Amino acid sequence: MTPFPQPVELDAVLDTSWEPIADMIKRKAEESDAEMLVVAHHSKKWWEEALAGSVAKYLVDHSDLNVVVVH
């Protein structure tokens, strides 16, 4: 029988500010000494991508942490 792995600590954030969500996620991860980020990505139409961008892409490009993107 294999022993269970160590528990993983998860955190959720309810944002009520006007700070961009990607910047807030990056800042929160740095403040909590996170080892990695796991984010979801879904396909968008080209105009949605042009207007809103992608939080997952921003975090991959700008975060110093390892980022796992789940489709």
- Return phi, psi of residue 58, to 5°: -60, -45
> Mapping DSSP to helix (H, G, I), strand (E, B) and coil, where does residue 9 land?
coil
Q: Which pLDDT tens digit goes with each residue over 19-37?
A: 788 888 898 888 888 888 8
The pLDDT of 39-57, averaged and rounded, is 74
pLDDT confidence band for 66 (50 / 70 / 90): very high
pTM, 2 dp? 0.66
Q: In terms of residues, how long is the chain?
A: 71
The predicted pLDDT at position 40 comes to 83
The pLDDT of 42-46, averaged and rounded, is 73
**Residues of the chain by 3-state class (helix, strand, coil), percent to 5:** 35, 15, 50
Amino acid present at 2: T
Taking the C-alpha atoms of residue 36 and residue 66, their distance in angstroms, rounded to an integer, is 5
Domain ranges of the chain: 29-70
